[in-house]
Each structure stands twice: as structure tokens, then as C-alpha cells.
Amino acid sequence: MKLLTIILKREVFYGTGLLLAGLILGWIFFAGGSNEIGNRAESTMIEMEEHDHEEGSIWTCSMHPQIRADGPGQCPICGMELIPVSTTVDEDVGLTSISMSESAMKIAEVQTSVVEKKVPFKEVYFPGKVKADERRISELTSRFSGRIEKLSINFTGQKVRKGQILATIYSPELVTAQKELFEAMKYKSSNPQFYSAAKNKLKLWDLTDGQIEKIENSGEVQFYFEILSPLTGTVTMRHVALGDYVKEGSPLFEIVDFRRVWVMFDAYESNIPWVRLGDKIRFSIKSIPGREFVSTVTFVDPVINPNTRVAYVRTEMNNPGEILKPGMFTRGILKSRLSGNKESIVIPKSAILWTGKKAVVYVKNPSSARNMFSYREIVLGEDAGNYYVVKAGLEEGELVATNGVFKIDAAAQLQGKTSMMNPERR
């Protein structure tokens, strides 16, 4: 019994000792390792922060990339927190260029076009109106005083023929002039000058040779004289009525020949360089659907209308059947080349970004292994429809971005490069 008790005490002693030894060894190994791991993690974080500060030594605003600072802070414009910008990105391409990966090109849907040199061609649209040919307008006035005894024209718009009687007038002055002619006829052989003067007096009063010959052959004074139409056309204005007394110079009728008309188009200042004498303008009229007319440019107004800011372009055309009525509105199209027919550098309008007075394009460098685009300011010329003429800044054969241009510019802004919004960054 005593021996059994001694053995149990010895086992308890050895077990307790082993347990204490294990606890001591576990504390030594695990506690020390944990500190080492923590130290290593802390060291790594410090190194990452230092690395971040080295990489992002320049801080900018995501909304205003023109803001540049040496450390963190707030944007002075919008108050947003500044973010670090890597100074090692694209250091080899400069501040006016930006490179894009293939995936970025696809996402931005970037497309390019070759800069061409050709004769600029443009379709110019003109609003217009049909007008009477001013050279075919006749204004009849009274050459002597008298009274309207008979009126053959009853309403405005009536058609008349050349030589047709318009009105009959009684004039005491004509009666006196006839008597002078009969007196001069007596001295026709001895004093021909007196006879010629009496005859010319009647001619100056717009009597025809036939009317004068009729007076001479009759030998009697005629009290009523006929006013004849000087041309075939339409009476557009009647100034007298039956029984009116007219004085010398009083207006009687206005007659217009509509068999040939003018079509006057409004050309804005930007379209005037595209119009030349002899050009053909095709136009249509809403009230005559399904029919197209062609007229020829015969005159370009040298003065801009100060109220409408347009110059009038006059075209002429025959009007058989008088289907074209003065006052009709027209819509014309002129397919024209720029005056001079010289080849010029042209680019699509979609390739251009506007910065106030400046025009900007992004030119691709074909020799670069990367998709590299350079910011470039150009000088534009005339508007050629879907294209612009380029006066300076581009050469034939260069590649310009024509789609996704704004996205390229946005990427340049975020990297602090020269861009449309930050053109001074060079």
C-alpha cells in the first residue's frame, strides 16, 4: 500500500512538470512568432505607403485635372479631396500625347480616318421666292392730260396682248396738237422742219406712227385717242376708273410679262463663297409636288442685307404656261465646289473638338507600337458639308481620330495631359 502511494505521487509530479514545460515552450515559440509576423506586416504597410507617396507625388482633382499639388488636400474649385496621380505613367510620350490599350480603344469605340486632299464639295440649301422679271414690267403713265372716256381693262389680273386697246382718252391738248399738224402739212415741201416738229410732238405723247398716219390721211381732228398695251402680259395694277381725269405723268396701268421669271434665293454669309455665276440650282415648290425645276445663277447681290444678313442670289428661267406664280416659296439645292476648284485638306466634322475659338484634333502616330494620340490645334477654313477645310495644322496622309474623340480627351484630362479643357498644359 505504501509502495502504491509512492508511485502515484511520482507520476503526478512528472505529469505536472511536463505540462509546465509545454506551456513555457508554447509561449516562447508562438508569442515570439506572432510579434515577428506583426512586425513584418507593419513594415510592409509602411513600405507601401512610402511607395504610394513616391508614385503619387503629384495630387490632382478628378473633376478639375488642371489642379496640381505636391500633397493631399482639397480642390480649391469644388472642394473635393485630391487624389494622387502617378508620375511614371507615359513619361516617354510627353504632355501632349496619350497612349491607349487595345481594350481601352474598343471600350471608347475609337475610329480613325486618313487626312485627304481633294476639291471641297458641298450641297448648299437656299430658301427662295418666285418674283417677276423686273425687265418685263411696264408702267404706263399719261403723257398728256385728259379724261378717261372708255376703259377696256375691268379688273386686275386681266391678260392683254401687245397693241391691245386699254383705254380711250379725250384730251384738249391732243386736239390742239392735231390742228398744228394740219397747218404744218401745208408747208411740208417749203418748210419740212416745221412739219417734222409738229409730227414729233405727237410721237412724244406716245402716239404710234400708225395713229399719226391715220390722222394725216383722214384730215379731220380726232377727239378720242386709244391707249395701247406696250407688251403682252398681265395687268397687275389699275390706277384709273371710267370718267377719271388724269394729268400728265399720272399712272394708268402696270403690266408684267410672266413668261420669264426670276427665282430669288437667300444666301447666308457662310454660303456665299460656294455660289458662282452660271451654277445650276435645283428647286422644288410645295404647291407643285413631284416636280423639280432647274434655274441658272445670273446675279449675286454684292451687298448683305443688314436686317436679314443674307445676300440675294438671282436665277432666271422660262415659265411656259405661267405655272410659276410670283410670291411662291421655293427650296433650292446647289451642288457646288469651292471657288477656284483647288484641292484642299479636308477632315470629317466628327474629328473636331471646339475650345472656344480653337479647333482641336487627336492625331494617331502610326509608327508607335502603342495606340498613341497627340493633341493638336488646327486652323479651319470653309464648311464643306460633312467636312471642314483645314488651312493649317495637318498634313495629307495623317491619321486623325473621328470617333471616340471626346473619350480620348477625357483620358488625357485624367492623366493631367494637354486636353481640350486644359490647353495650356504643355
pLDDT digit string, tens, across residues 130-184: 999 999 999 988 888 889 999 988 889 999 999 899 999 998 888 888 888 888 8
Pull the grid cell for residue 236: 397687275
**Cβ–Cβ contacts within 10 Å for residue 219, how many?**
8
pLDDT digit string, tens, across residues 11-63: 544 555 555 555 555 555 444 444 443 444 344 334 434 444 444 456 777 66
pLDDT digit string, tens, across residues 391-418: 888 888 888 888 888 888 887 777 777 7
Q: pTM for this one?
A: 0.58
- Residue 41's pLDDT is 37
Q: Is 70 helix (H, G, I), strand (E, B) or coil?
A: coil
Q: How many domains are there within the chain?
A: 5
Q: In the beta sheet, which residues pair with residue 245?
A: 147
- Residue 1's pLDDT is 46
Q: How far apart are CA 234 and CA 325, in angstroms?
A: 12
Residue 425 falls inside a structural domain: no
CATH code at position 326: 2.40.30.170
The answer on 346 and 328 residing in a single domain is no
Residue 422 falls inside a structural domain: no
Residue 180 falls inside a structural domain: yes
- Residue 414's pLDDT is 73
- Residue 296's pLDDT is 92
Q: In the beta sheet, which residues pair with residue 314?
A: 264, 299
Residue 423 falls inside a structural domain: no
- HEC string of 164-183 equals CEEEEEECHHHHHHHHHHHH
Domain final residue pick, 256, 278, 299:
256
The answer on 238 and 177 residing in a single domain is yes
The pLDDT > 70 percentage for the chain reads 80
The answer on 149 and 163 residing in a single domain is yes
> Which of the residue ranges 42-51, 87-96, 114-123, 311-320 would you say has the lowest mean pLDDT?
42-51
- Residue 255's pLDDT is 94
- Residue 271's pLDDT is 85
Q: Which domain holds residue 378?
A: 89-120+342-414
The answer on 155 and 101 residing in a single domain is no
DSSP 78: T
pLDDT digit string, tens, across residues 193-204: 888 888 888 888
The answer on 184 and 96 residing in a single domain is no
Residue 131 falls inside a structural domain: no
- Residue 407's pLDDT is 82
CATH code at position 157: 2.40.50.100
> Which of the residue ranges 98-107, 231-240, 320-329, 416-425 would you say has the lowest mean pLDDT?
416-425
Look over the chain and give the mean of its residue pLDDT values, rounded to a whole number: 79
Q: How far apart are CA 115 and CA 393, in angstroms?
A: 11
Indicate the length of the chain as a whole number.
426
- Residue 423's pLDDT is 66
- Residue 85's pLDDT is 59
